[in-house]
Structure 1
């Protein structure tokens, strides 16, 4: 790299001032973070993410990158929720593939201190049963009963039809009920 001459200005070390669109994006993301970070973290935990903090951080990064393309800023929460679901699903798939190729037995995973603090003792049995469900059933149940979403919102978050949401929810509820009754 050559030195700038006296006639050429040096590159500025300070970034250019942010425009109104950048300030609006920063404010919108800060608001979104304040309102929904803990619920997105809980969503990632309930969906079975092994690193929920990283999943949520990645989701916020993705929405930051795509903020200008959002048609409706009010839909940012739904986009964020959908991104958390997709990232969790992708990481679980990646871990399943990675674990198939590991020759030594994997150590039992330990929940992070934050995720353990979120769950009370009387909920652990339910969470264990929920973690045993197939991923789509678990997603449908968490989105329906924990977040209280409508079938159309669940379908959008999971990328499936409303009929599939009904099927996954019904099968998941049946399996969860059987698992809970078997533990009593």
Structure 2
């Protein structure tokens, strides 16, 4: 395990960090400023590319994903290379990042499979979906054209699924008023929707 100084950026990248106190007794000050050079990282990556690919292949099941994981590991280690205190640990750091990224890829796949395994409701065709959207838009426009009280009664009664008594209590009006506003609102909607049909 490479000895590195964690930062929020590298933590978000999913790279491993040792426990505090690991690597005590080394000259961390000088090594910290040096870190792993780009040349050293690139040479290590090129020399061990096939072994890193093999490691990913043991965890994943398709070549394309393995290549993506190994390349992503290089990018992440490259961005955090100055945090690697011991350049000799670069390969270990690359390997651990490959493992972490492979785990993340597997978690995403498992989640995707769980979602796909759920039965999907009957899907409407694109034409039906477009027609439904037009109807909803027309209804919303018609609702906006109602008197305020009529609109409030209809929204609470039919969209919030309240009883007439609950609507009366919510709006602070009588039950008779709820019925009157509701019937007038529906009549006005029928006229408006009929005119736009």
Using the size of structure 1 for normalisation, the TM-score is 0.42
Rg larger in 1 or in 2? Answer: 2
Using the size of structure 2 for normalisation, the TM-score is 0.39
